[in-house]
Amino acid sequence: MAGGLTHVAVEVHGHRGARGLRPENTLPGFAHALELGVDVIELDVGMSADGVVVLNHDQALSPVNLTDTAPAQPGDPAFPYVGKPVRELTLAQLRTVDAGARRHEAFTQTPVPGARIPTLAEACALLAPTDVELAVELKTDPGWPAGDVERLTAAVAGVLASAGLTRRSRLLAFDWRVLAEARRRHPEFTRVALIERKTLVPDTPWLAGLPPDDPVSAAAEMGAAVLSPEHAITTPGLVDRAHAQGLQVAVWTVNTHEDMARFIKYGTDALVTDYPDRLHAVLAAR
């Protein structure tokens, strides 16, 4: 199968670590996901103003899960930082933000006050001694200049390679220019084509010029090994078509016992969930 992946039992992917249980994209969150026994940890990356690859889901710091503490230096005109784009803030500024104190109202999440926005290198240091794989989503969009997409892709690939995690890492993107760049310059990484309803509209700018009417064939043409659709558009037919073209299917984000059982029945290869403990319970019951 493309990318060196083989068909196995349903993989448990911890979404942003274990977002339903611990603060997302944090080292404590990843540690808890490891305790629960995930196969893959999914995380999101961007780049600071001074060129460091850091973990954060949104391109701007969100008040949903982040809280300002104090400026990086007295009188910093950029403070407060929450609400500002990650690309406009230095690592020192990002380090002041508390990523663990805010309880996400949508989840039964245990806060970890004082947890900081980690770098990708720090996440790799935590995960390298384990056997877990990394699903690294690069947070770009079609509005990014091509040079910035290339720069982030190269930086992410460099950090993962330096940590010795190339073979245990896969690169994910909704902006398929990332996948094209990875195929061209970093072909040693498994590539995962993310899709959702808004990226499959007519004349979409998200798929690097490929037509959205047949995302399975488009993902295969892009050289992806995995198609990762949002749960709302995942049907048995989509799964079967993907498998017929040699693609594995990793569905996101699946949080209820009923949906987990349904997508397992569809024959999906992996489920991305905020609650790895629930998925383990469903798998155990089967």
For residue 159, count other CB atoms closer than 10 A to its CB: 21
For residue 212, the model assigns a pLDDT of 97
How many Cβ atoms sit within 10 Å of the Cβ of residue 152?
23
Q: What is the pLDDT of residues 225-245, one digit of tens each?
A: 999 999 999 999 999 999 999
State the Cα–Cα distance between residues 245 and 216, nearest whole angstrom.
8
Asked if residue 191 is part of any domain, the answer here is: yes
What's the pLDDT score for residue 108? Answer: 84
pLDDT level of residue 9 (50, 70, 90 thresholds): confident
In a domain, 114, yes or no: no
Q: What gap in Å lies between CA 54 and CA 49, rounded to an integer?
A: 11
Q: Is residue 156 part of a domain?
A: yes
Q: Mean pLDDT throughout 186-208?
A: 98
Model pLDDT for residues 109-133, shown as the tens digit of each residue: 999 999 999 999 999 999 999 999 9
Give the CA angle between residues 211, 272, 122 to the nearest 5°.
Answer: 105
- Domains of the chain: total: 1
Residue 93 lies in a domain: no
> Residue 7 has what pLDDT?
37
- For 240-282, what is each residue's pLDDT tens digit? 999 999 999 999 999 999 999 999 999 999 999 999 999 999 9
Q: What is the pTM of this model?
A: 0.95
**Position 92 pLDDT exceeds 50:** yes
78 in a domain, yes or no?
Answer: no
pLDDT at 106: 81
At residue 105 the predicted structure's pLDDT band, cuts being 50, 70 and 90, is confident
Lookup: tokens for 176: 């398929």
Nearest of 32, 60, 29 to residue 43 by alpha carbon: 29
Instruction: Say which CATH number the domain at 206 has.
Output: 3.20.20.190
As to burial, measured by CB atoms within 10 angstroms (0-12 exposed, 13-18 middle, 19+ buried), residue 21 is buried
- The answer to whether residue 177 sits within a structural domain is yes
pLDDT at site 31: 98
Tell me, yes or no, whether 184 lies in a domain.
yes
- Position 139 scores a pLDDT of 98
What is the domain range of residue 227? 2-46+119-285
Question: So what's the pLDDT on residue 53?
Answer: 99
pLDDT tens digits, residue range 29-82?
A: 999 999 999 999 999 999 999 999 999 999 999 999 999 999 999 999 999 999
Domain-located, residue 87: no
Q: Which residues pair with 42 in a beta bridge?
A: 15, 135
Query: Which residues, in sequence order, are CB contacts of 23 under 8 Å at separation 6+?
Result: 17, 29, 65, 99, 100, 102, 104, 109, 111, 112, 115
